[in-house]
Every structure is written in structure tokens, then in C-alpha cells.
Amino acid sequence: MENHAKLVFTLIIVTVLTGFLSFFLFYQQFTLKNAKARLNDHALVIANSLWRYEKGEPMAYMRLAAQSNNYEDILVTDDFGVEFARFKGPRTQGWITVFSGLGILPVHPLEKEIIFNGISIGTLKVNWQNRSAFTYFYILVCLALFLTGTWFFLGLVTAKKTLEARVIERTADLQESQDRLQAILDNAEAVIYLKDTNRRYLAVNKRFEELFNIDRMTLVGLKDNDIFNHDVASDFMKNDQEILEGKKALQFEEYAPDYRGNHRDYISVKFPLKKADGEVYAICGISTDITERKKAQVELNQLRNYLSNIIDSMPSVLIGVDLDGNITQWNNRARQATGLTAEEVLGRPLEHAYTLPENEMSRVKEAIANRKEMHSAKQPRLRNNEIRYEVITIYPLISNGVEGAVIRVDDATEQVQLEEMMVQSEKMLSVGGLAAGMAHEINNPLAGMIQSANVMKSRLSDLEMPANLAAAKEIGVKMAHIRTFMDHRGIFRMVDAINESGRRVAEIVDNMLSFARKGNSKVSSYHPEQLMDQILELAATDYDLKSQYDFKTIKIVKDYQKDLPMIPCEGAKIQQVLLNILRNGAQAMQSEPGSGLAPCFILRLSHETQSRMLRIDIEDNGPGMDATIQKRIFEPFFTTKPPGSGTGLGLSVSYFIVTENHQGSMDVSSIPGKGTVFTIRLPLDVKRNK
């Protein structure tokens, strides 16, 4: 509507000015035509009057004409063009001169012949200017200025009304926008606030009011230390200062208690608000409550750590892989087996970190593709120059959108060794039964042999036995001669040797029966010296024709403490321990002498009164062993003997007997090239394991 009124008023002004300008132009032409007509009249007057007056007489008429007819200049020439008379009109002044210079009031040169009696006697020339038009033009200009001023005034009034309307409209829009923004802020879960550069609050959202129980109008102008405790306010103000100094957005983890005193954690994004010239005029903060998320994260971390601890505590190697065979999980046992940490292997191909048996990686891919568990039992593998047996199980991951597999590798070496130990134990039981049967079979002819030797000695040496005397008389000899002959030939000494050898064989067989007989785990008291001496007698029978090994050739040095107390133990098992040590030491000294001296055992028995222990030291002068072998000497199936020469079970079984069955201790110390000492300590007061 306002634009339409302005358009109408503009058209009126243009119409008025155009009409007045047209009138002005028409008036100019009209007066110019009249000026030409008057010039013709002036020419007739001059032609008729010049001859009536003398030449020197003023020409009053021409002067009057010059003054009254807007002539700037009047020139009269004769028929030869010679100036006859000249008259100057009034000079132009003020705005007429300016308008003349601008061409608004132009000067028109007019010319007319002077005719007298039909003959041209001269020429009348004038410079005519319509000076009276200046008044109309002045009126036109004033009118234009008036109309223009009126137009501008009306424009200002209209613009004022328009501006006021627009201000009202924009104010309403701004208020609506502000209300909309405030509604958005008030419905946001985050805490939103605005501060000036002095860190005074300018505005907050509804969430701020709810959490801290403070009205936003009351809050305006307050600082953090007016609302929160010193520590919280100090942290807030410190973070705000970083924003002011850095003039860029930053993120902080902050905390503040709510109005109930409950601890709340926030992730705060704070950023500066800047003017066009870059000057910071306010700080805006958006703080998201992460209390529950943080609790959930703590619980998740605890659960993750719990599961990780479970996985890491498992004795199996557990490796997770994705579809491409890249490692996603690596437990502690895998780290121990390879020496590589999880950080070093995660994301790498499995074959670069863990060596599986040939074609095992293809089985992993097959298990993932078929979603079927794969199992490989007791795969032999050489590790650290030792054969280890592994059981490999592949579990495909097929749930919760996770695809891949878990590879479980179990060290079955001990299981294999245990199975071999059981087989060996069965063999030993069979050998024990066989030894018992053989001893029984040996005892029968041995008893006959000893009895026959005793009868022979009686029949050859008893001079009073009637049967002897009768037999000698029958063949014609005397018993005294027969006895004398036997003495000279040493027959009686030989018979005694037969009896002694038979007795020793009987004792050996008896020891073998006691050693091989299946025990009933019954503890009895034994003299330590007797246990040692009995096992020495049994060890003395150890002989190997192939290796020219004979225990009897080894020097035995006994160093027994006097008055040793009785030792409560399972005698057969302790003798088994002693025999294993003696046999291993004897074989080592025979095969590879260490000190260069003759093989020798030093056996020591002593009583450690303070610890109430019986100490048994068995020292040899063999080749000894290094620290690596000493650490593993009691491991099952560990042996330094050539293949086929030992099972590696003797010392491990001996260690078990001493430590588990008798709550004692068994140690070894050795110097390569100097010999070895095995030390056994047995408690004198035994509390047996059930």
C-alpha cells in the first residue's frame, strides 16, 4: 500500500513538472516568434526615421527598443556592411547569467534587412534573450524543489511507518525465534549456558535450572563461585580462562554436584562467541551428563578385565582371528609361548605371530566357512630343542554378527608323558611280578645247591660219621686221608665259598623281592645305615656287559654320623630313590669321568637336630651338569642319556616320593667337570598326606 501511494505521488510530480516544462518550452518559442516580428517593425521604423534625423542625433527609439525588448546587443550596418549604429541592452546579472551559461536561457542572434523604397539600405542585427522566461523557470525550479521536498518528506514518513512496522515484525520474529531457540535449549538433555568475558552467567537452559535448583533470572550476573563449591568453581573458571586465551573451542571433562549433592560427571564443549573483528564477547558451554555412561564404562571395563583375566589365566593358548586370518585376541599364555605381546600382534596375520602345523591355517578357514568345530589331537612340535605335543581346537564365531574363529592350543606334553609313565608303570609292575616269579624259581634250586654243599662238606670232613667210615672202608681208604686230601686241594674252602655265594644270592633275591613287591604305603621305622647298605648290596649287582659298566668297580666312601635316630618312612620307596641316584651317578661316572679320578661315591648320613631332619648326601666325582640341566633334572621324561638308554622318569618319580609321600626335600648341586651332590632331607616326624 505504501509503495502504491509513493508511485501515485511520483506520477503526479512527474506530470506536473512535465506540463510546466512543456509550457516553458512553448513560451520560449512563442516569445521568440514575437521577438522576430518586433525586429521587423524595428527595421521599418529605422528605414523611415533615419532620414528624418541628422546623423549625429541620438536614436532614442533604438535605445528604447534595446532596453525594453530583451536585446543584449543591437547593430545597424549600411548596405556595405559598415557599422552605422550600435546599442547595448541591460547587462545580465545573478541567476540569469548562470542559467545563460548553462544554456537554459540561450541568446538567439536575429537579423533583418532594412528596406527603404524597395531598396536595401542596411542590416539590423540583434542578440535576443527571453529574460522574462527566467521568472517562469524560477517558478519551475521552486515547484520542482517543493514537490521533491514534499516527496522526500512523504517518503520519510512512509519509511518511518515502514521501519516501525518492520521493527515490530522483526521484533516479533526475533521473539518467536528466541522462544523457539529457548524451547530447543530447554528440551535438550545437555546443560547449556552462556557467560560474558568476566565469566558471569548471561543465560542458561532448563536442564541447568533442574540440576542445580536455581532460577535462570536469579542466575544472571552470578559467577561459578556464587553457585558451586570452591574446587568445582575453580575448575570451571580455569577452563573458561583457557577459552578466552586460546579463542577456540575446547573439550573438558568436568564434574559438579547437583542440588541433592550427588556427584555428576560431564563432557563439556566450550567455545568463544566473537564479534566481526574477532573480539571475544561471550563463552558458550554445552555440558553432557556422562555419569551413567561413565558408570557403565567402569562396569564394562571391569567386565572386560574380568573376562580378560579369565582368558589370561587359562593354561591354554587362546588366539582370536577374523575372516582374513588377522589376530583379534591374544591371551597371556600366547605371549608366554611366543614372547610377543598383544600390542605387537593385534591386527597382524596369524602366521606372522604364531606358527601352526602345516595345513592348520586352512583348517581355520574351513572351520569359519563351515561353522563347524575342528579338532587336532596331540600334534608333535619342536620347541626349544624339545618335542612338545599340542592339541589344537578351532571354534568358529557365528553369533552376534561377529565372524572369525578362536584357536585354542593346549600343551598335551604332560598328558602324553603321563600316559607313557602309566605304560612304564605297567611295565614296572609286570617286571616286578616277573622278578618275584623269577626269585621264587631261583630260590628253589638255590636252596638245593646250598643244602647239597652243606651235605658234601659234612660227608667229606666228619671223621666220626658212621656212613662216612663205612663208605671209606668199603673202598679201602681212610677218612683221615680223604680229609687231608680235601684240605690240600682246598675243597672245603670251595664248598664254603659256594655256601657264602648262595647266601649272598639269597639276600639279593630277598632285596629284589622287597624292592619289587607292591607296597601298601605303610610307614615303618628303619635304621638309615641299614637302608643305605641294603641298597648298596642291590646296586652292586648292576652290570652292563655291552658298556663294560660294573657298579662293583666304584669306590664307596661311607661317612655316617654315629647314633642316628630311626627314620619313619616307606623303606622300599626310599630305597628306590637311593637306587635311582646311585645308578644314574654310576652310569655317568663310567661313561664320562669328570675329575679324571677313579669313580667314587661319598655317602653321608647326618642328623640335623634343629630342623629334625635326616640328611642324606650322595656325592659323585662324575662329569657334573650345567645350570640348565639342573633346573630340569626333576622334570618327567627329561634325560641326558642317548635315545633308548633311559625314560627320564627315575629322578622325577624319586622327587615325588621324597616331597609328596614323605614331606621331605630333594636338591641337587653340581659343578661341570667336578661332580654332583644329591641332598635328601627326610623329616623324623612325618605327617603323611592322605
> Domain for residue 153, yes or no?
no
Diameter of the chain measured on Cα atoms: 243
pLDDT in tens, 113-142: 877 777 777 787 777 766 666 566 667 677
649 pLDDT band, cuts 50/70/90, is low
Report pLDDT digits (tens) over 441-492. Answer: 777 787 778 888 888 878 777 778 888 888 888 888 888 888 888 888 888 8
Are residues 453 and 547 both part of a single domain? Answer: no
Do 571 and 655 fall into the same domain? yes
Please work out, in degrees rounded to the nearest 5, the angle formed at the alpha carbon of residue 338 by the alpha carbons of 336 and 343.
85
- Written as one letter, the residue type at 178 is Q
In a domain, 159, yes or no: no
Same structural domain, 532 and 673: yes
pLDDT digits (tens, 9 = 90+) for 69-113: 666 677 777 777 777 777 676 666 666 666 666 666 677 787 878
Residue with cell 539600405: 121
Domain match, 503 and 376 both: no
**245-285 per-position pLDDT tens digit:** 988 999 999 989 988 889 899 999 999 999 888 899 999 99
146 lies in some domain: no
Q: How many CB atoms lie within 10 A of CB 67?
A: 13
Q: What is the mean pLDDT of residues 531-553?
A: 73
Confidence tier at 571 by pLDDT (50, 70, 90): confident
Q: Which domain-ending residue is among 478, 510, 542?
A: 510
Using 50, 70 and 90 to split pLDDT, how confident is the model at 55?
A: very low
Task: Look up residue 528 and give its three cell numbers.
Answer: 638309615
- Above pLDDT 70, what percent of the chain? 77
Please identify, among 116, 140, 164, the residue that sits at the C-terminal boundary of a domain. 140
Q: Is residue 180 part of a domain?
A: no
Residues 632 and 581 grouped into a single domain: yes
DSSP, collapsed to helix, strand or coil, labels residue 396 as strand
pLDDT at 129: 67
- The average pLDDT across 575-580 equals 87
Is position 147 within any domain?
Answer: no
pLDDT at residue 419, rounded to an integer: 67
> CB within 8 A of 284, min separation 6: which ones?
192, 193, 194, 270, 271, 272, 273
Asked if the structure places residue 390 within a domain, the reply is: yes
Residues 590 and 496 in one domain: no
Task: Count Cβ neighbours within 10 Å for each residue of 589-627 and write b for 16 or more, e otherwise.
Answer: bbeeebbeeebbbbbbbebeeeeebbbbbbbbbbbbbee
| Dihedral in degrees, nearest 10, Cα atoms 517, 523, 526, 532 | 50
439 in the same domain as 402: no
In a domain? residue 195: yes
* CB distance 122 to 78 below 8 Å: yes
CATH of the domain at 292: 3.30.450.20
What's at 356, amino acid-wise? L
Q: If DSSP codes are grouped into helix, strand and coil, which group holds residue 22?
A: helix
Report if residue 303 sits inside a domain: no
Instruction: Determine the straight-line distance between the first and last CA of the chain, rounded to whole angstroms.
Output: 113
β-strand partners of 616: 605, 680
- ∠ CA 648-521-434, rounded to 5°: 60
Helix (H, G, I), strand (E, B) or coil at 155: helix
Task: Tell me how many domains the chain contains.
Answer: 5
Q: Which of 287-296, 429-438, 487-496, 546-555 has the lowest mean pLDDT?
A: 429-438
* Backbone phi and psi for residue 385, each to the nearest 5 degrees, phi listed first: 60, 30
Does 131 share its domain with 228?
Answer: no
At 24, the amino acid letter reads F
> Are 617 and 653 members of one domain?
yes
pLDDT at 235 over 80: yes
List b or e across 531-549, with b for residues whose CB sees 16 or more CB atoms inside 10 angstroms: bbebbbebbbebeeeeeeb
Is 125 in the same domain as 224? no
| Domain, as residue range, for 446 | 418-510
Distance from C-alpha of 195 to C-alpha of 202, rounded to nearest angstrom: 5
Nearest C-alpha neighbor of 115 from the set 57, 42, 47:
47
pLDDT band of residue 673 (cuts 50, 70, 90) is confident
Query: Do 555 and 447 reside in the same domain of the chain?
Result: no
List the CATH number of the domain containing 11: 3.30.450
Q: What is the DSSP string of 527-590?
A: -HHHHHHHHHHHHTT-EETTTTEEGGGSEEEEEEPTTPPPEEE-HHHHHHHHHHHHHHHHHHHH
Q: Confirm if 549 and 590 have CB atoms less than 8 A apart.
A: yes
Question: Are 531 and 670 in the same domain?
Answer: yes
Task: Indicate the residue among 266, 296, 326 that finishes a domain.
Answer: 296
pTM: 0.41
Q: Give percent of the chain with pLDDT exceeding 90.
A: 16
Lowest-confidence pick of 309-323, 373-387, 436-450, 633-647: 633-647
CA distance 214 to 527: 92
